[in-house]
Chains A and B, each alone.
Chain A
Amino acid sequence: MSASGLAVGVQETVAPPRRRTSPMIYFLLAIAALLVVSLVRVLTGAGNLTSSGTVAAALTAAVPIALAGLAGLWSERAGVINIGLEGMMVLGTFGAGLFGWQWGPWAGVLAGVVLGAVGGLIHAVATVTFGVDHIISGVAITLAAPGLTLFLAKLYFTDAPGGGQKQSPPIEDVPHVTIPGLSSVLADIEQQQWFFVSDLAGLLRGLTTDVSLLTLLAVVLFFVTAYVLWRTAFGLRLRSCGEAPHAAESLGVNVYKYKYAAITMSGALAGLGGAILAVASSQFRDGQTGGRGYIGLASMIFGNWRPGGVAAGAGLFGYTDAMQLRGEGAVHALLLLLGIALLVLAVVQLRAKRYVVAGVATVIGALFILWFALTDQVPPELVSAAPYVVTLLVLSLAAQRLRVPKWIGRTYRRGEGG
């Protein structure tokens, strides 16, 4: 019955009662993390680590990834692996480019959502109706989407004003908002370079100043997702399709319908992520997504298939991406930060008696600190790889007891339950 080969004959094993982590713990963890970052800033003198500019850039970088992660969450919670996120994001960027330059950014975003949803629908038809392997269908979409959009781009953008064979004419940005008053007060505090206080001010200022409405939309969607999936009948049924579709079927739930809804929603969210990416960079460009769909998928796994976790994973990537844009000095400070983070992780894993992971984390962490101590800057060739390296390291070493939706990746056929 169970999918994993390791669980032979222990299907009836009773799991130990799960401890639920309270929101307070997460809050304290965040404070502790900020303290460490603050300490590193003081030690290295890299003011960029917590400047409001970095935070704002991190937020902008995180949003498309976060939406891709959220898109993956919708699909996988209903039991369908969506590795086509990348392709659906590409469709989203193109939709934004095609409609955005003619009818404004909101029309572009809407078109991106619709095109993404179409991509999702194709994935749904393939995996749910025809029972195609989820990975194959997803990869096909990811391969087909850039080719299709490049072809269409040549067709529509070549002769358009400011457009080219591989890029759309410029798109206007959506309005940005700032909380009046607060921003300047925080700016003053940030200037003081006080330990922790200035860092906190920088963080808050970055989050409240000049924020795109699309970023706010993404934040709202996280709360909406959490509510819909965990508080409504629709969400419960959708999740049950990813856990035990035959149980859901036996209770009169139309599993096909919910899977379709979930995957289409997934495509729409990925399309939105792509559209936001295009609007934020003022045009559609070929190859614009740059693997963000996959990073989103990774942040979803890191986030244990929960919205809060997805946001945290995307935030991590966004932050390192922003650091990379700040240049070699910032990335150099990042070495120390990463080293410390890995050592903390090692202690956590040691307490959980995962000695191998703890050992690996210790060694890599120590190497990073050594690297930091022995050099003054990181070779520029490595700088742009920083976000990927950091994300890979943290995601693979921090991921603890993950709870995969039980029916993930498997074909469901009505009436085959036992």
Chain B
Amino acid sequence: MNVAVRTGTVHALVGENGAGKSTLMKILYGMQRPDEGTISIDGTQGDFHTPADAIAVGIGMVHQHFMLADNLTVLENVVLGDEPRGGGGIDFKAARAKIKDISARYGLGVDPDRLVDELGVGERQRVEILKVLFRGARILILDEPTAVLVPQEVDELFGNLRELKAEGLTILFISHKLDEVLSVADDITVMRRGTTVASVAPGDVTARQLAELMVGSALPVPELRESTVTDTPVLEAEGLTVTSPDGRTVLEGMSVTINAGEVLGIAGVEGNGQAELVEALMGIRPLQAGRIALRGEDITKLSTRKRRDAGIGYIPEDRHRQGVLLEATLWENRILGHQTKAPSVRGLLLNRSGARADTQRIVDEYDVRTPNIDVLAGSLSGGNQQKLIVGREMSGNPVLLIASHPTRGVDVGAQAAIWEQIRKARAEQLAVLLISADLDELIGMSDSLAVILRGRLVASYDPKAVTPEELGSAMTGAGDGEES
């Protein structure tokens, strides 16, 4: 694998999940050692054992998952590892002045004395960038910096990057969002299965060509066929109000209705009440007020178990924490959530053969790539785990499917398969609640769209007539939604 980056440019590195981008970055930043090969900075060969070596030659890294300690202030996070000393302790005054200076020079707008816990995602990212600049880095590596940002924040980030570039800094930008790459990069390198497959200039390719270079084949598109929406309401939730354990209202008087054969998409910046909405519907979180009905029957007081039995399928947003047991076999995972129903049980006992047979059916029908059903769920790729979850949740004839980030972190093939299953569910007259951070997915897969902001539904849109930018402004509270 070879890559060359010119000084003073934004160089994008694109590739699918698992193409080796993050591994490459870790090697460049000294977090892993290469088995073979060399790295040269300005002609001199570098040998990085630890991140400290990389920092010393001016390489700074902004990680995909923020490397910040929430319970420390911005200042503490920034100076950590490179503290200005004075009088036996940290020279807080000098540090504060330097941070304010860098923040003003590149327009980052960071207040050194706030707790990181209190900052939003965009601000945290700017703290990460500041952290790197504080150490005098001349080469910045940004690992999927836009994955967690809404379009407006992405624009702000790109503004910051252009300022950095104007100051002569070099930026290595890793992403799989191709529109963004095309708009900000000067050079693009494409990776697939651990090797470089192409180096192109952004003017010479379209996003689609780039995508095909990335996956080596044509891409799936999120889209729905003809409308199957009926006027039989399946889920009717009225006035849902939820408060968090520390007393904040996280969901306020929310009302949602989904009809049979309808996919309702919920757009919003993460942390605005999506998780609470889903958990309230599933009966995981207690309601302060409100009423939930499934097919006209009040389920407000039912337990999660009873709600699932009444016909709710649930694809949780974090499959490792809620979806599967990584240390259990596939057929054991099949039983989870269906431990009271055939074919998983017979009388009081588990029905092993029934569960195994049904797991085999899911593996076949949902194209779960696995050697057999006795392997541990943890040995499957994220996409295959997710397909197993979808298959499990679709068994037992649900009437409502709650899909929370169903394609997050899965490969293109699995993404297409999961979309296809949602289409099938819709065609079978299920009501689907779709929550996603991928705006293209939301727009393509929804019959109607609503935007959630600070625990309220603030706007609704017709997915056929809305652009990601419009959604993005509504998500940050900047735009006005039309009532549809």
List the interface of chain A (C-beta within 8 A of B). 1, 5-6, 8-18, 227, 231-233, 236-237, 239-240, 243-244, 246-253, 352-353, 401, 403, 405-406, 415, 417-418
- Shortest Cβ gap from A307 to chain B (Å): 16
Which residues of chain A are within 8 angstroms of B118 by Cβ–Cβ distance?
A: 14-18
Tell me if B51 counts as interface (CB < 8 A to partner A). yes
Interface residues of B, dominant DSSP: loop
Q: How far is the CA of A16 from the CA of B244 in the complex (A)?
A: 12
Contact of B274 among A5, A9, A352 (CB under 8 A): A9
Q: How far is the CA of A14 from the CA of B246 in the complex (A)?
A: 13
Contact with A along B398-416 (1 / 0, CB 8 A): 0000001000000000000
Which residues of chain A are within 8 angstroms of B29 by Cβ–Cβ distance?
A: 250
Instruction: Please list 8 pairs of residues, one from A and one from B, whose beta carbons are closer than 8 Å in the complex, sorted by A's number.
Output: A14-B119, A18-B115, A232-B88, A247-B66, A252-B55, A406-B70, A415-B31, A417-B67
Q: How far is the CA of A353 from the CA of B81 in the complex (A)?
A: 41
A406 touching B247, Cβ below 8 Å: no
Tell me if B71 counts as interface (CB < 8 A to partner A). yes
Tell me if B43 counts as interface (CB < 8 A to partner A). no
Since A8-B321, A236-B76, A406-B69 are in contact, a sample of 15 more A-B pairs with Cβ atoms closer than 8 Å, ordered by chain A residue number, is A8-B318, A9-B317, A10-B276, A14-B120, A15-B115, A18-B117, A233-B83, A233-B89, A237-B80, A240-B76, A243-B72, A247-B69, A248-B81, A251-B81, A415-B31
Contact with A along B77-115 (1 / 0, CB 8 A): 101111101001110000000000000000000000011
Contact with A along B52-75 (1 / 0, CB 8 A): 100100000101111111111000
A252 touching B32, Cβ below 8 Å: no
Known: A8-B317, A9-B317. A243 touches B90 (CB 8 A): no
A16 touching B271, Cβ below 8 Å: no
Residue ID in chain A nearest B53 by CB atoms: A252
Which residues of chain A are within 8 angstroms of B82 by Cβ–Cβ distance?
A: 251-252
Known: A227-B89, A236-B80. A5 touches B115 (CB 8 A): no
Contact of A252 among B52, B246, B275, B279 (CB under 8 A): B52
Known: A232-B89, A250-B31. A240 touches B117 (CB 8 A): no
Known: A9-B270, A232-B90. A16 touches B248 (CB 8 A): yes
Interface residue total, chain B, C-beta cutoff 8 A:
60
The 8 closest A-B CB pairs, nearest first, are A252-B52, A9-B275, A251-B81, A243-B69, A247-B67, A233-B83, A244-B69, A231-B89
A352 touching B89, Cβ below 8 Å: no
- Shortest Cβ gap from B249 to chain A (Å): 12
Tell me if B372 counts as interface (CB < 8 A to partner A). no
B85 touching A233, Cβ below 8 Å: yes
Which residues of chain A are within 8 angstroms of B89 by Cβ–Cβ distance?
A: 227, 231-233
Tell me if B148 counts as interface (CB < 8 A to partner A). yes
Known: A18-B115, A250-B61. A10 touches B79 (CB 8 A): no
Tell me if B395 counts as interface (CB < 8 A to partner A). no
Tell me if B245 counts as interface (CB < 8 A to partner A). yes
Q: How far is the CA of A305 from the CA of B90 in the complex (A)?
A: 21
Q: How far is the CA of A295 from the CA of B131 in the complex (A)?
A: 40
Q: How far is the CA of A360 from the CA of B185 in the complex (A)?
A: 61
